[in-house]
Amino acid sequence: MPKVHPNAAAAAESPAAEASCDGRARAAEATALTVWRKSLLFNGNGFTVFDSKGNLVFRVDNYSSGSRDEIVLMDAAGKPLLTIRKKKLSLGDHWLVYDGEEAVNPRFAVKKHKGLLHSTKALARVTAPCASGSKSRLVYDVEGSYSRRCCVVYDDRRRQLAEIKKKESAQGIALGLDVFRLIVEPELDAAFAMAMVILLEQMFGSRGSLLGEACVFMRL
């Protein structure tokens, strides 16, 4: 079985720049992460994420107790960075992202795109909630196909800020849909990019919601 995480040798072989899913060139300073759709806990349900040197960066593990409607992103010291909650009394997939463990004043709202045509590339829209009575402001669009692990996050100026891509081992062996790459440009917070991966899994994943049991999304 090939190694899931990259090593220093594989990182050294990476080109200075490469094409994204939409054919655009990517800057060499982008952060490349390997995402593994597997928890480190025995029979757990979650994610494990490595950097380009094979170091553990993020993890998602489920637990048998706690809240069933939120996912908390934590740093290495256990400090909550973001809390993702499903919006109550909403139709369809509509999520709110809060700073820390806040329960008011969400930082972002993420909604699954409801397209009538199967050919549409739009997956989700991220908006910044405004003052009461004001229209929300578009912040990011997510396009592509999560089932094929080929998605791009654009800002409101159509600049590519993050991408999900299929991954191959250093020997050219395809690692399947449970192991893929997350490329994050310097302009986007990697923690928020990982939050988008979790939300795409909630919306489009074939293995069901991570919220069957409570989850904690941790940065190590």
Q: What is the pLDDT of residues 14-71, one digit of tens each?
A: 444 566 676 666 556 899 999 988 876 666 667 788 898 888 888 776 654 445 577 7
Number of Cβ within 10 Å of residue 83's Cβ equals: 23
Q: What is the DSSP letter of 210?
A: G
Q: Kindly tell me the number of DSSP H helices and DSSP E strands found in the chain.
A: 2, 13
Could you give the domains of the chain? 31-109+160-204 (2.40.160.200)
pLDDT in tens, 141-169: 999 999 999 999 999 999 999 999 999 88
Determine phi and psi for 68, rounding to 5 degrees.
-100, 5
Q: Is the pTM of this model over 0.85?
A: no
Q: Residue 196 pLDDT > 80, yes or no? A: yes
Question: What are the tokens at 65?
Answer: 């107790």
34 contacts 179 by C-beta, under 8 angstroms:
yes
Q: Residue 116 pLDDT > 60, yes or no? A: no
Nearest to 127 by CA among 116, 112, 145: 112
Give the pLDDT score at 65: 42
- The answer to which of 19-28, 130-139, 206-215 has the lowest mean pLDDT is 206-215
Gap between the Cα atoms of 33 and 56, Å rounded: 10
Nearest to 188 by CA among 151, 140, 144, 136: 140
Three-class secondary structure of residue 6 per DSSP: coil
